[in-house]
A and B are shown apart, each in its own frame.
Chain A
Amino acid sequence: MKIAVASGKGGTGKTTVAVSLALSVPDAQLVDADAEEPNCHLFLRPSIQRTIPVYMMVPHVDLTKCDFCRKCADFCAFNALAVVKEQVLVFPELCHGCTGCVYVCPREAIVARQRQIGEVEIGAARGMVFIQGRLKPTEPSAVRIVREEIAQIDPKGGPAIIDASPGTACAVQDTIGQSQFCLLVTEPTPFGLHDLKMAMDVAQELGVPSGVVINRNGARDSIIEDECRKRNIPVLLKIPFDRRVAEAYSRGQPLVDAFPEWRESLRSLYREIERRVMT
């Protein structure tokens, strides 16, 4: 089973929930799919055993074959090609590697070359399988990295907990779409609610069942619960506001290490997710 842990925005405690959940269920596989800023390793200090480079195709134009007909540039939906005055310009950072231009060119002047956009690292952390992706800072899209990470999950292994990147960009949608359940971590503020709604919409559109974890919950904070009730999305866990939780986080200590009493709550969270996915 694959569980995506997502949040509409950063700083909601998504990572600490994902890491703590993985530490509380047996044989979990933890996937850090925030390839732009992976941070689960800060909590788990994994040992990396394998590194898999991830490539993307980039067109290369042989100008001796080209007659500047511009079919390639007209075809490219991402404006990654321009044909001006006997030159074909390629803008690699806009190219999505769809290979379309290679086939569209009537003169076979374009060949697909590869460039490395990042890597996926596989290792172990505290008895768990640990997978994380890293996107090169100059690269615009983490989608391919995240796909490679998900492809590395052992289908015969235990549940995969995937820490998605914050926001609702393509890579996050991809992560949620490939999961059986989407756990949404939020905080009870108007901003939190706003971004949570966007993330709920994504899960809903993709047909992936979701549930909510409210972090830093205060006694009178009902705005998240009201929204969940309206949409019929369950609130599965509330983590009360506690300065010590934040302090543990800043020391790089997952919730369940700092407060072992949370382990049981996270286990029942997992059982509840399992029940909802199975039925």
Chain B
Amino acid sequence: MKIAVTSTGSDLDAQIDPRFGRAQYLLIIDVESYEVEAIENPNIAAGGGAGIQTSQLVVDRGAEAVLTGNCGPNAFRTLAAAGLKIYTGLNGSVREAVESLKSGELTPTEGPSVPGHFGSSG
């Protein structure tokens, strides 16, 4: 299974980026092999709808779950429509987050964790 984790850097030891739509990196991780594909998020500077675009991106890469800090309503709707499980409230390193998912410690979120426009500055 592949999952997407929002991250401040390009490898497993980087910290989780709490923002989803405007996360610096998206790491697409194979949870069995720990193979990582790091994508610099092209939507950081998007005017609006960053969450939707970032969702579209992780869905296209075949992720089945998202691990992040916060997820706004538009991203939530897009990810949920594509059937992805969404885990919010994560912090620490990407590796720790993947491990806690694998050990079954996490429960998926039922709804958006923040109102719209949370991670944007304008």
Measured CB to CB, the residues of A under 8 A from B are 73, 78-80, 82-85, 87, 89, 91, 94
Contacts and interface: CB of A to CB of B under 8 A. Distances in A.
Given A82-B55, A94-B49, 14 more contacts: A73-B56, A78-B49, A79-B46, A79-B48, A79-B49, A79-B52, A82-B53, A82-B56, A84-B78, A85-B81, A89-B52, A91-B74, A94-B52, A94-B74
B49 A91 contact: yes
Given A73-B56, A84-B55, A84-B56, A89 B78 contact: yes
B55 A79 contact: no
Contacts of B46: 79
Contacts of A84: 55-56, 59, 78, 81-82
B5 interface: no
Nearest to A81: B52
Interface of B: 46-50, 52-53, 55-56, 59, 74, 77-78, 81-83
A252 to B, nearest CB: 33
A84 B56 CA distance: 7
Q: Which 4 A-B pairs have the closest CB atoms?
A: A79-B49, A84-B82, A85-B82, A84-B59
Contacts of B78: 82, 84, 89
Contacts of B53: 79, 82
A91 B73 CA distance: 11
Contacts of A85: 59, 81-83
A78 B47 CA distance: 8
A88 to B, nearest CB: 10
A82 B52 contact: yes
A233 B74 CA distance: 45
Contacts of B52: 79, 82, 89, 91, 94
A172 to B, nearest CB: 16
A63 to B, nearest CB: 12
Contacts of B49: 78-80, 91, 94
Contacts of B55: 82, 84
